[in-house]
Structure 1
Amino acid sequence: MSVQQSAFRGFANPVDPSPAELRAWAYQPDSVPLQAMPPDWDLLVAGDQLVQTLFELAMDPACPARRFALHCLYIYAADGIRTNFRAHPKRRFRKLVEQAERHGDELMTTWAHNSRVLLARPDLFNYHDWCEGGLVRQERRIG
Structure 2
Amino acid sequence: MSLQQSVFRGFANPVDPAPDELRAWAFQPGSVPLESMPKDWDLLVSGDRLIGTLFDLAMDRSCPARRFALHCLYIYAADGIRTNFKAHPRRRLRKLVEQAQELGDEMMLTWAHNTLVLMAKPQLFDYHNWCEGGLVRSGQRLS
**TM class, shorter-length:** over 0.9
Instruction: Structure 2: state its 5+ residue gaps.
Output: none
Q: For 1:95-114, what per-residue CA distance to the aligned partner results, in whole angstroms no more than 9, with x for missing partners?
A: 00000001000000000000
Aligned equivalents of 2:127 and 2:54: distance in 1?
A: 20
| Identity percentage of aligned residues | 75
The match for 1:15 is 15
Counterparts of 1:1-143 in structure 2 under 5 Å? 1-143=1-143
Pairwise CA distance, 1:6: 2.1
**Helix, strand or coil at the partner of 2:4:** coil
Instruction: Structure 1: state its 5+ residue gaps.
Output: none
**Helix, strand or coil at the partner of 2:128:** helix
Q: For 1:53-81, what per-residue CA distance to the aligned partner results, in whole angstroms no more than 9, with x for missing partners?
A: 00000000100000000000000000000
**Helix, strand or coil at the partner of 1:64:** coil
Aligned equivalents of 1:101 and 1:3: distance in 2?
A: 24
Aligned equivalents of 2:102 and 2:2: distance in 1?
A: 26
> Paired residues, what number?
143
Pairwise CA distance, 1:7: 1.4
Aligned equivalents of 2:21 and 2:136: distance in 1?
A: 23
Aligned equivalents of 2:102 and 2:5: distance in 1?
A: 28
Superposition misfits of 4+ residues, deviation over 2 angstroms: none
**TM-score between both structures, scaled by the size of structure 1:** 0.99
Pairwise CA distance, 1:141: 0.2
Q: What's the Cα RMSD here?
A: 0.5
